[in-house]
Each structure stands twice: as C-alpha cells, then as structure tokens.
Chain A
Amino acid sequence: AQSVTQPDIHITVSEGASLELRCNYSYGATPYLFWYVQSPGQGLQLLLKYFSGDTLVQGIKGFEAEFKRSQSSFNLRKPSVHWSDAAEYFCAVRDTGRRALTFGSGTRLQVQP
C-alpha cells in the first residue's frame, strides 16, 4: 500500500526566508502526488500536483515542488515566505487501488516576523 511520510511535524521560519517542506512516499510505480495547505479550522486547498513530465512543478501562491524518483521525495519549496503562509501543509499520494488519496501527517509552518 502507498504511504506518505512528512518528517517534520513543526517548522518555524522567518518572514522572507526560504522554505522547504519534506515529503517522502512509498509507491512502486509512478506516483500521482499532491500538496495541500490548510488554515486553522478550514478545509484543504490544493497548492500543486505532479502526474508526469517535468519534475519541477509550479503551484499557486509562489510554491513549487520537485519530484525526485531516486529519493522517493516530493519536497515543497518557496523562495521567500510571507506571514500569510503560516498554516499546515499536507503531502498526499493517490491510492491507485481505491482512487482516493493517502495523506501524510502534515507539517505545521510558523512564520516569525
């Protein structure tokens, strides 16, 4: 079965600093990967997705992610973090059998002024 690991439970960065959130997946074939963001008490918003092709994908709000098959990773990056980016971030992989998503446990991002 597919699985997703987000090693960092909580990350704090300063406003204007760069950001990288880690995501590792377990899956035999080419995975379909997603990053979502959740503000407190809200639903999840899709940031970006990878299905195939170019391994560097661009998303909304200035985020990008890079798919690295050799490392089974799909890390999320942003060159300059804004205070409004403070939220929880979830990586997910599509479960081919059930066609649902399997989520990581999330990384909570705090932004210091």
Chain B
Amino acid sequence: DGGITQSPKYLFRKEGQNVTLSCEQNLNHDAMYWYRQDPGQGLRLIYYSQIVNDFQKGDIAEGYSVSREKKESFPLTVTSAQKNPTAFYLCASGRGGVYEQYFGPGTRLTVT
C-alpha cells in the first residue's frame, strides 16, 4: 500500500532539546518537502529536496535541518535554535516539476 508515513503522530520535548521527525515514502517520488502549519497561517515551506543528496532551504529554514541520504526518507531535525517549534509538521512528496504533492498525516510537536 503506497503512501507517506510520518512518525510519531504526537511528540513532546523540553525546550533546548533537538528532535527529529521522520518521513518515509514508498511512492518512488524524487521530490520531498517539509511544511510547517500554524493556525491561521496556512502551510509554510521549511526545506525541500528534488533529488537524493541535495536539498534547499524554504521560507522558514532557520532552526531546522534535513538530510536526504535515501530516496525514500527525508527526516527533519528541529534544533534548539528554533524559537517557536511548537507546530504541526507536514511532509509531502511528489514527482517534482509541475506535478502535485502528496501529504503524510503530520506530526504535532509540542515543546515546553
């Protein structure tokens, strides 16, 4: 059954700790994306990757890092440098180019 998985669904961390959010896809898509969603602000692009071993910053990359060592995986690390990390994080994948993106179920991160 093809799709995008994100784990865990809920994540709680103390301030000052780094945390890594998982994103895996078995759709054989080249491109993968991370978005952050806050109430009333829609989705904002954090990082994206069009091919393995390459990724680019989006609009709000500060305080985040990513890696793309495998086509199927695009983990996002929220570092202690991120000022307001509490949010809903969505991973997406697509064939790249003009094509649509498909989204995972999301991870809700709460930092206290």
A14 in the interface, Cβ–Cβ < 8 Å? no
Counting CB contacts under 8 A, is A83 at the interface?
no
| Interface presence of A105 (CB below 8 A) | yes
Q: Which residues of A contact B4 (CB under 8 A)?
A: 43
- Assess whether B42 is in contact with A105, with CB atoms less than 8 Å apart: yes
**Which residue on B lies nearest to A32, using beta carbons?**
B98
Q: Is the Cβ of B100 less than 8 Å from the Cβ of A46? A: yes
A113 close to B (CB within 8 Å): no
Q: Is the interface of B mostly helix, strand, loop or mixed?
A: strand
Asked whether B68 is an interface residue with its Cβ less than 8 Å from the other chain, the reply is no
A binding-site residues for B, Cβ under 8 Å: 9, 32, 34, 36, 41-46, 49, 51, 90, 94, 98-106
Binding site for A on B (CB under 8 A): 4, 6, 31, 33, 35, 40-45, 48, 50, 56, 58, 88, 90, 92, 96-98, 100-106, 108
Sample 15 A-B pairs with CB under 8 A, ordered by A number: A34-B100, A36-B103, A41-B106, A41-B108, A43-B90, A43-B103, A43-B106, A44-B103, A46-B101, A90-B42, A94-B98, A98-B45, A98-B48, A103-B42, A105-B40
Known: A101-B101, A104-B42. 18 other contacts (CB 8 A): A34-B100, A41-B106, A42-B105, A43-B90, A43-B104, A90-B42, A94-B98, A98-B45, A98-B48, A98-B58, A99-B48, A100-B45, A100-B58, A101-B43, A102-B45, A103-B43, A105-B40, A105-B41
